[in-house]
Structure 1
Amino acid sequence: MLQTISETSQAVQQLHALFAECWERELAENPITASYIGDPRFNALWPDLSPSALAASEAANRDALARLQALPREPLPAEEQLNFDLFQHELQARLAVLPFQPLAYAISAREGPQSLNELAEIMPLDSVADVEVWLQRLRGLPRYLEQYSALLRQAALEGRTQPRLLMERVLPQLQMQVDPKVQADPSQSPFFSAFARLPARLGDSAIARLQSEAKAVIAQAVLPAYQAFKSYFENEYLPACRDSVGISDTPEGLAYYQNRIEFHTTTRLTAQEIHQIGLDEVARIHAEMKRVMDGLGYSGSLAQFFEFLRSDPQFYCQSAEELFAAYVMCAKKIEPELCKLFGKLPRTPYGLRAIPMTSAPNTTAAYYSGPSDDGLRAGFYYVNLYRPEMRPKYEIEVLTVHEAVPGHHLQIALAQEQQDLPKFRRFAGYNAYLEGWALYAETLGFELGLYQDPYSHFGQLTYDMWRAVRLVVDTGLHALGWSRQQAIDYFRANAAKTEVDIVNEVDRYIGWPGQALSYKIGQLRVLDMRRRAEASLGPSIDIRAYHDMLLDGGALPLDLLDRKVDAWITAQQTRPQTGQ
């Protein structure tokens, strides 16, 4: 039976009302996420980690799924059916992971309550009112850290802990928060750095008052809270942590890992299948590396070439300032070339920042932080300036196209600017798409005029190899019984990354099972989609239109992206031809 226009309209209204209601609830439940997105209503709050709050969140998601499935899907237009399917997918994924207690593993060497001062990086601090909201949030920090301790205590009782060797890396970060110099002078706290750089337009008297209040809050709330958390962490949690590194050694660990594989890759691949894909990719990229080495006239082994790249001073900057300037120059070189490959570019700008030193020693070479929804905060490409003598110049181009443009910033900013999409889609986080796109963007460097220097080309291959190694190492650690040292040795033997990066990366995979699989699995699928489009359309393909199509609906699971590409190819083939 044909549906009336009014029935269709009513179904769409009901669907979007549910989207909006759930979005509001999720922001209220996740104030840090709200701050990241740029919704200021919850900037004074922390997440509620109490058992009652977590139970209420689960119940609300189950209710939302039931209400969604009670809505009629058939009357909806095709685009709204896609919205329906994606929202159902998201709710089901949230519920499917809950039996594994994912919050038990939320703390890692690179993320967690040890570095909450870095939240100031995304907080608006442009007015006296803004700063007072941040102070209010800091006053509430003790309750949040108490709840976090209780969460870890329950996790330890259930055997759901992070590995001890990983958590030992958290202790120095906590020590920075409670260092004796901070106890003697609160202005030495990592939390005070945001108050030390308040804008001059606030006025001298207001700045002096706010800084005085900040010192008092740090001394009376922040410092005692961190002292209590560090005491619990060091004396109770750390001794209870497991000696093993694989998630398979935790309750239902292998099932949890398969859940994470499916979540991060949006596929049904098994750990063994992904491990083999990784081995095949490692072999393929080795052959490409050998061709570059032959072009340079290098007659030594791959291992010897890796050591040459790691140790020769010509490949490294001498200071953090020199390294930062090199990143800025690279970003500026790429931007004017983007119009060759894209018809639509984001209006939102991005900038470069150094990763804060509270986390820089324990995190990756760079990362991207998205813009705010209100347009008041740009996107930022964060680069690691810790130990510049270990950050090779030949990686700068490939890292920049991944994290900035045409990688994460271009894709994420464009998605957020699409006001016709529901918010859950504008901010969707399908890792296989997000990271698959960014890794695909690395290959676009050739079309953007990069990698002209053979060492820079080798840097691109090093990054491709890095993601192939991830498939082998992540599955090795979490499903095949590999040790941490085995993972480090395999990484070192197959990629020219420096020692500090290799160790940080392996520890990242240990603490975040499955996430690292999304890059290469996503890239391989996106590359296959482009080959399919080029084979079908030949030289008539409009690559700018093709890329615009890939990006115009925000992040999608890979199977839905496949369908979208096939539909676009068919539309191009049936489009009326013009001209002679």
Structure 2
Amino acid sequence: MPAVTRRTALSGLFALSATALALEGIMPRLALAGQDSPADKALNDFLEKCWQDELSRSPEQRTRMGLPGPHDSWTLADEAFRQLNLSITADQLKALRAFDLNALSPTARVSYKLFEGQLQRALDTYRWRHHGYAVSHLQGAHTDIPSFLIGYHAVSNPGDARDYVKRLEGIAAVIDIAAENMRREAKAGVLPPAFSFGRISEAARNVISGAPFEKGAKEDSPLLADLKEKVGKLTIPAGEKKALIAAGTKALIQGVKPAYERFLATVAELAAQQKDSNGVWALPQGADFYKAQIKLHTGLDMDADQIHALGLAETARLHGELREAMSKLGFKGSVQDFFNFVRTDPSVRFPDTDAGRQEYLATATRYIDDMAARLPEMFGTLPKAKVVVKPVEAYREKATPSAFYEPSSPDGTRPGVFYANLYDMSVQTRHDLEALCHHEGLPGHHMQIAIAQEVQGLPTFRKYAWDTAYGEGWAMYTERMAKDYGFYKEPLSEAGRIISELFRAGRLVLDTGIHHKRWTREQAVAWMDENTANPIADNRTEIDRYFVWPGQALGYKIGMNKILDLREKAKAELGPKFDIRGFHDAVLTNGAVTLPILEEVVQGWIDTRKAAA
């Protein structure tokens, strides 16, 4: 969560966009979700205590949420920590099941079932704790640490700066645990694909490149540059700034550099043991592990063959829709010819100039503004938090995706931000920008995440929960829903919407192909090149992501399809009593839920509407 997806768009140089203005005056009260019965209160008190206990063991989460400090430590996720969490989880599940489910209100029953599901999944997946690739080219402590410090560790006073330095001093322990976890996995026969190792090493070396790690370096390393920038903005004496930077520099030289060098040695040692690049089928008990990952990311008991067949069917259907869109555009040629067109033709790209960047931002803002003005037609509940558009800052252009969404603050005072990385304009295309704006901004991720954070009456853990199939499924659903309300007036944008959905349908084929049908990397790339419109270079990146994150890519399309099915079910059962605003409120005002629980929630809404006079 959220939703850092393949591409995100938006941006602007505006402190307050027209989007934000459009939301003014159309913010009804968020639904009060709970009841205050003694049984509900007892459950909510228990859930809140569990949440606070979790926060006490996750200093990084406290920082991300902007809670009071100190912010000077790291989670040390070694075996002892994992075993402690397992014990706590078992105790919490036992305590939860002492509550009488039948005594709870409908909202509290959802809280109970959600928390029970989280705890049970944690217990069930403990057996796979050494299968998940502690480090890969996609994630790991070596990159998570600098990303976290640069992106989340705010420095607004000298205490924050001292906490930053303390975290620099604590990095070595985190990196050493990551290396040990890699070695433990290797002993169990679990190694990332061979292609992943070179990128792991490159990313780790980048962290310790530049000053103060290299004598005579003309540029500061990412962490030193970040510390200097943040301390430099403080209104404290120059001598105090100098001392803080000196302390940070010492920590980088004496602790961070040796730890990263030890980490690199471990990576080199393990790389020599891995010659293959296979899906998880090649791991010990790989088939069972993949089945568990499917359940984790979809919440459903679907087998891989069923998902693969669904992906092929959806791909064929969307190719048919695309042919209709191509006809409206007057395009002559095959679907594959059209793929080549959107991959290469300059007319579907924004110019790589300042004017082109401004045009991109203005176009994205217009798409969001147009949707914002019509939200009351589709939603009864709207978020207090605004969404603004911004370009990715220069200091992190080379280290972030082409676009991404960052959530608003829980109280709605800090807006959600739809970032566009305009460093490489060759990847910022016109045809899929409207769908992207709906997916990431309105009414996609921003609506879902902001409403969950703001809604009253939910236990805290539900405000910050994330479920792949629900969250990404909602964002995909909104792309399609926008078509129902007359958006995508430009034929090229309609083609882009289909291409966006086609990309996610293809994931069903590719993920199961790699991890169940034993496709090679080359097979997967060839299928993606032939059947989706993604840029060729992006396809390699996507395929490599699927190799090291099994099951995650399935959530998007499966979640979308489930929400669409539930909407059609509600329409069929309710007839004239169906209300799209009520349906959307039912989906959004319960926070992120699993697909089975979402089905229960929607059925409850249907039953309530049926009973209404």
TM-score, structure 1 as length reference: 0.90
Distance 2:248 2:413 in 1: 24
Partner of 1:230: 264
2:140 aligned partner = 112
- The aligned counterpart of 1:165 is 195
Q: Equivalent residue for 2:453?
A: 416
Aligned residue for 1:311?
Answer: 344
Counterpart in the other structure of 1:34: 62
Instruction: Determine the structure 2 residue equivalent to 1:389.
Output: 426
Letter in 1 for 2:140: G
CA contact (8 A) 1:186 1:215 kept: no
Give 1:286's aligned amino acid.
H
Quote the sequence identity (%): 31
CA offset digits 1:279-321 (Å, max 9, x no partner): 1100110000000111122221111111111111122233386
- Assess if the C-alpha contact under 8 Å between 1:317 and 1:392 holds in 2: yes
The correspondence for 1:188, drawn from 213, 216, 220, is 220
- Is 2:151 the counterpart of 1:151? no
1:43 equivalent in structure 2: 71
Q: What displacement does 1:567 show?
A: 2.5
CA distance in 1, matches of 2:61, 2:264: 25
* Residue of structure 1 in register with 2:6 after alignment: none
Of the two structures, which has the highest relative contact order with CA contacts closer than 8 Å and spacing of 6 or more?
2
Task: Determine the structure 2 residue equivalent to 1:3.
Answer: none
Which residue of the partner structure matches residue 216 of structure 1? 250
**Quick one: distance in 1 between partners of 2:64 and 2:569?**
37
Mark the CA change 1:272 to 1:386 in structure 2 (over 3 Å): closer, same or farther. farther
| Letter of the 2:190 counterpart | R
Give distance in 2, aligned partners of 1:506 and 1:379.
Answer: 30
Query: Residues 91-110 of structure 1: CA distance to partner in whole angstroms, max 9, x if unpaired?
Result: 00011111112574142323
Q: What's the offset of the Cα at 1:461?
A: 0.7
Equivalent residue number for residue 120 of structure 2:
92
Residue type of the alignment partner of 2:197: M
Q: Using the alignment, how far apart are the partners of 1:17 and 1:309 within structure 2?
A: 54
C-alpha distance in structure 1 between counterparts of 2:397 and 2:158, whole Å: 30
- Paired residues for 1:19-418 under 5 Å: 19-41=47-69, 43-102=71-130, 104-115=132-143, 116-119=145-148, 120-179=150-209, 182-184=213-215, 185=217, 188-198=220-230, 200=233, 202-203=235-236, 205=238, 207-233=241-267, 235-241=268-274, 243-319=276-352, 322-323=356-357, 326-327=360-361, 329-331=363-365, 332-333=368-369, 334-352=371-389, 365-373=402-410, 378-385=415-422, 387-418=424-455
Residue 257 of structure 1, CA deviation? 0.8
* Mapped contact 2:505–2:557 kept (Cα < 8 A): yes
Contact 1:411-1:551 within 8 A present in 2 as well: yes
Q: Which moved more, 1:531-540 or 1:543-552?
A: 531-540
Report SS of the residue matched to 1:169.
helix
Q: What is the identity, as a one-letter code, of the residue corresponding to 1:245?
A: N
Tell me, which stretches of 5 or more residues in structure 2 are unaligned? Answer: 1-35
Amino acid at match of 1:217: A
Partner AA of 1:564 in structure 2: V
Name the counterpart of 2:469: 432
- Indicate yes or no: 2:572 matched with 1:518: no
Give, in whole Å, the separation in 1 of the partners of 2:401 and 2:134: 17
Alpha-carbon distance, 1:489 to partner = 1.1
- Tell me whether 155-164 or 33-42 shows the greater mean CA deviation: 33-42
- Is the contact made by 1:248 and 1:478 (CA closer than 8 Å) also made in structure 2? yes
Q: Aligned equivalents of 2:76 and 2:233: distance in 1?
A: 35
User: RMSD of the alignment, in Å?
Assistant: 2.7
Alpha-carbon distance between aligned partners in 1 of 2:550 and 2:477, rounded to the nearest angstrom: 22
Give 1:559's aligned amino acid. P
Q: Are residues 84 and 180 of structure 1, via their aligned partners in 2, closer, same or farther at CA, if it must alter by over 3 Å?
A: closer
How much has 1:249 moved relative to structure 2? 0.8
Deviates more, 1:143-152 or 1:395-404: 395-404
Counterpart of 2:526? 489
Measured at CA, do residues 384 and 241 of structure 1 come closer, stay the same or move farther in structure 2, by a change above 3 Å?
farther
When residues 43 and 554 of structure 1 are mapped into structure 2, their CA distance, relative to the original with a 3 A threshold, is same
- Structure 1 residues 169 and 431, CA gap change in structure 2 (3 angstroms): same
Residue range with higher mean Cα deviation, 172-181 or 431-440: 172-181
Aligned partners of 2:185 and 2:198: how far apart in 1? 17
Amino acid at match of 1:300: G
- Aligned mates of 2:274, 2:358 — CA distance in 1: 38
Letter of the structure 2 residue corresponding to residue 407 of structure 1 = G
How far 1:251 moved relative to its partner?
Answer: 1.4
Q: Which range is displaced more, 213-222 or 389-398?
A: 213-222
Change (3 A) 1:417 1:106: farther
Q: Is the 8 Å Cα contact of residues 311 and 507 (structure 2) preserved in structure 1?
A: yes
Partner of 1:505: 542
Q: Distance in 1 between matches of 2:308 and 2:396?
A: 30
Which residue in 2 is equivalent to 1:5?
none
1:354 and 1:69 map into 2 onto residues whose CA distance is 48
